[in-house]
Amino acid sequence: MREGIFPLRVAHIDIGRQPETVDFIKRFIKFSADNGYNAVELYLEGRVRTASFPYHPTEESYSHEQMQEVAAYAASLNIEIIPVVSILSCAKLFLKYHELEHLAELRDSGTGRFWHDRKTMFCPSLPETGDFLEKYLTEISELFPGRFFHVGCDETWDIGYCERCRQRLENGQSEADIFLQHLLLGHEILTGKLKRRMLVWDDMFEFYPEALENLPRDIVMVCWQYQENSEPVRAHFLNHLVTDLLGEYDRLGFDYLICPADFMTVHNVETFTRYAAKHKPLGAILATWEKWDAFMPQSLPWVAYAGRLLASGLTGRQECIFAETVRDCLGVDDPVLAQALYSAYSIGFHKDRKITLESFLTEYENDYKHGRIRLVETLLLLLPPHLEKVLPEAREILRDLILTLKSEKVSFEFNKILPLYFDENPDYAELDRQMVENISRLEEVARERIAMWHRVRPGIVPCNSETLYNGYLVNMRAAPEKAKRSGYVKVHFFLPDQYCAQQVRLLVRYQNGGEWEEIACGQMKALPDMDCFFSRIFLIDREQVPVALRVETRGYGGQGFTYFEAANNTGRYTPDKILNISGILTDPNRLLTYDWKWSYAGEVDVEKAFRNRDIAELTHSFEISLRKE
């Protein structure tokens, strides 16, 4: 493969969130070498046991000897290994242990920027943090003697929340100062002492540009963009601000890598590489994240296509490159199969994360999912006949993809059936019959998923497929009766920025109760479908008369609403008046009409809220009196 414009081409595998067998990791390295990559990035977090970090159970981690075996195998193929150990955020695998929890930013009873109390981020103000990181980074560097070491540092939202960090802020330092000084500590360890070049995710520089200005120029920026169209680049959590970010890195004198992912659609890879080709990238990383509820085989043709695309010099032969990839990966030269797979990778992978009644009560106002499910059904007709035609060693790829499509079809059916239980005159007998049929399909998917886990991840525990599908089946078997016992409130949302982090609390008051009762609390998003307009159903008492709703929001990024409605055995209810507004609520009277005009709760300017915690912590609330139709 020739160098093209991406001299460093990196295939990434996440064995921190979901371990794979050593044998699979080695096969992934060989697969990457065969498909245009010259490096593999191992996202480790804290998955490797060492002398300074011996706390992981053997069956849930890797030993020094296992990683030596991986490193030696990669070296035999001239593949450079780039380890990833986040030195700030994404540190859950370290901080969940009693022996290290004192190093967490949220080690006390306080909560972070998004009101969670999870121990997922190191405190950058404790000397002990630096001591531990120096020991662990040294141990990992000894295993992987390459040029680069990735230190993560993405999504470090909780800087400045512990007592020590707050004191630094009160003494005149900024969050950017704390962030920068911690990066410089990592740089001193890795570059100064271990002679490695440091890679860092770049998203927090959206909020800390002054830190970027003061970074050593030998640090490599890793620019990650996972949306379908990554030309132009958009900020992750800054109202999707559009910038020529790679041009800015060129101006400042930084080397940089782009990082698309097998996250939603293969067009992410295509558009991001097209944008990068206009600049001077050091290379690219193709990320494969969080396979705890999925498997790697279905991603392999995608990984191969991206590697070949990067190595090709972007000659404009995308369809030919993809067809050649399918031929070489599966051993079948069939244009229909190639087109079917390209269609599958264009719509992205379905994830089995909607497993409760409430999670299926989401509807999309721009309802393009019907077109998606028609494509899924077509692919389920096209792909299975090819199972016996492909190379025996490639059949797991098609089995995995077919199983994902089956799962999505099951999910779509639940999404279609369950809201019908809340219609005015539902045919319960017919709906129950449809649920029984679809639960039977789910049971089949569950059996196949669990069997596949034991085939592709022998000895890897726990078996997340078993845990996931056992819960899924329990919830779906109980869903019909739960729906029959409930009325509902339907909230119509407007949310253009899926990185919004507003917390929404929804309460109802009944005619005879007097007290507010919470019926929902959390972030209300339409992911993964990225539809601005969507509605969700929340359950209320079946027999009591709802007279009012109360909405409370707070956090970063506003939350839009367009309409509210409720129904149960006592009747159907719609908005009458907007009452008791506090905080920020634009155009509240828009909520009285069922249309697409939205009212926005919260500060629209995310940067303003980020830099002023008082704004983000302000609660925005309003009440809606209801009238019976």
Q: pLDDT tens digits, residue range 511-548?
A: 987 899 999 999 888 755 557 899 999 999 999 999 99
Let me know if residue 337 belongs to a domain. no
Is residue 396 within 8 Å of 297, Cβ to Cβ?
A: yes
- Choose one of 299, 315, 331: the last residue of a domain: 315
pLDDT of residue 357 exceeding 90: yes
Which residues lie across from 559 on neighbouring strands?
601
Identify whether residues 274 and 351 lie together within a single domain: no
Q: What are phi and psi of 211, to 5 degrees?
A: -70, -40
Residue 194 has a pLDDT of 98
CA angle (338 as vertex; 374, 263 as ends), nearest 5: 65
Let me know if residue 326 belongs to a domain. no
Q: pLDDT tens digits, residue range 231-286?
A: 889 998 888 899 999 999 999 999 999 999 998 899 999 999 999 999 999 999 99
Let me know if residue 604 belongs to a domain. yes
Let me know if residue 325 belongs to a domain. no
Cβ neighbours, 10 Å, residue 392: 8
Residue 111 has a pLDDT of 82
Let me know if residue 3 belongs to a domain. no
Q: How confident is the model at residue 331 (pLDDT cuts 50, 70, 90)?
A: very high
Q: How confident is the model at residue 362 (pLDDT cuts 50, 70, 90)?
A: confident
What is the CB-side half-sphere exposure of residue 372 using CA atoms within 13 A? 20
Overall average pLDDT of the 310-335 stretch: 88
Q: How confident is the model at residue 110 (pLDDT cuts 50, 70, 90)?
A: confident
Identify whether residues 144 and 293 lie together within a single domain: yes
8-state DSSP, 588: G
Identify whether residues 461 and 502 lie together within a single domain: no
Residue 2 has a pLDDT of 40
Residue 368 has a pLDDT of 66
Residue 116 has a pLDDT of 72
Residue 513 has a pLDDT of 75
Is residue 215 within 8 Å of 236, Cβ to Cβ?
A: no
Specify the pTM.
0.95
Identify whether residues 517 and 615 lie together within a single domain: yes
Rounded to the nearest angstrom, the gap between the alpha carbon of residue 483 and the centroid of all alpha carbons in its chain is 29
Let me know if residue 584 belongs to a domain. yes
CA gap 600, 583 in Å, rounded: 11
Identify whether residues 427 and 361 lie together within a single domain: yes
CA gap 572, 517 in Å, rounded: 19
Let me know if residue 339 belongs to a domain. no
Structure tokens at 39: 């490096």
CA gap 295, 403 in Å, rounded: 10
Identify whether residues 464 and 493 lie together within a single domain: no
Overall average pLDDT of the 12-23 stretch: 97
* Inter-CA distances, 96 with 58, 140, 463, Å: 16, 20, 20
Overall average pLDDT of the 187-208 stretch: 97
Q: How confident is the model at residue 1 (pLDDT cuts 50, 70, 90)?
A: very low
- Choose one of 315, 338, 365: the last residue of a domain: 315
Identify whether residues 92 and 177 lie together within a single domain: yes
Q: pLDDT tens digits, residue range 425-446?
A: 999 999 999 999 999 999 999 9
Q: Which amino acid is at 95?
A: L
Rounded to the nearest angstrom, the gap between the alpha carbon of residue 289 and the centroid of all alpha carbons in its chain is 8
Q: Which of 594, 590, 592, 584 is CA-nearest to residue 616?
A: 584
Identify whether residues 270 and 288 lie together within a single domain: yes
pLDDT of residue 218 exceeding 50: yes
Identify whether residues 111 and 212 lie together within a single domain: yes
Q: pLDDT tens digits, residue range 442-460?
A: 999 999 999 999 999 999 9
Residue 163: strand, helix, or coil: helix
Q: Left, alpha or beta for 99 (phi > 0: left; psi -120 to 50: alpha)?
A: alpha
Q: pLDDT tens digits, residue range 131-167?
A: 999 999 999 999 999 999 999 999 999 999 999 999 9
Q: How confident is the model at residue 316 (pLDDT cuts 50, 70, 90)?
A: low
Element containing residue 600 per DSSP (H, E): strand 599-601
Which residues lie across from 507 on neighbouring strands?
518, 550
CA gap 3, 372 in Å, rounded: 37
Structure tokens at 433: 């019959």
Q: pLDDT tens digits, residue range 344-353?
A: 999 999 888 8
Q: pLDDT tens digits, residue range 555-608?
A: 888 899 999 999 999 999 999 999 999 999 999 999 999 999 999 999 888 888
Q: Which domain holds residue 394?
A: 346-483
Is residue 524 within 8 Å of 569, Cβ to Cβ?
A: no
Cβ neighbours, 10 Å, residue 579: 12
Is residue 509 within 8 Å of 516, Cβ to Cβ?
A: yes
Residue 145 has a pLDDT of 93
pLDDT of residue 127 exceeding 90: yes
Pairing, β 559-568 against β 362-364: unpaired
Prior bond to 528 cis, omega within 30? yes
Q: Which of 222, 223, 307 is CA-nearest to residue 9?
A: 307
**Could you report how far apart the first and last alpha carbons of the chain are, in Å?**
68
Identify whether residues 473 and 541 lie together within a single domain: no
Cβ neighbours, 10 Å, residue 132: 19
Residue 431 has a pLDDT of 98
- Choose one of 483, 504, 539: the last residue of a domain: 483
Which residues lie across from 104 on neighbouring strands?
122
Cβ neighbours, 10 Å, residue 249: 22
8-state DSSP, 258: E
Let me know if residue 283 belongs to a domain. yes
Task: Tally the domains of the chain.
Answer: 3
Q: What are phi and psi of 228, to 5 degrees?
A: -60, -50
Identify whether residues 537 and 574 lie together within a single domain: yes
The share of the chain scoring above pLDDT 70, in percent, equals 98
CATH number of the domain where residue 538 is located: 2.60.60
């499509």: which residue's tokens?
Answer: 405
CATH number of the domain where residue 232 is located: 3.20.20.80
CA gap 142, 575 in Å, rounded: 65
Q: pLDDT: is 2 or 379 the higher one?
A: 379
For the ranges 16-30, 50-64, 218-232, 305-319, which has the lowest average pLDDT?
A: 305-319
Identify whether residues 398 and 454 lie together within a single domain: yes
Annotate 204-248 with DSSP letters as a single string. GGGT-HHHHHTS-TTSEEEEE--SS--SSEE-SSSTT-EE-HHHH
Q: pLDDT: is 202 or 229 the higher one?
A: 202
Query: Where does residue 274 rank: exposed (0-12), middle (13-18), buried (19+ CB within 10 A)?
Result: middle
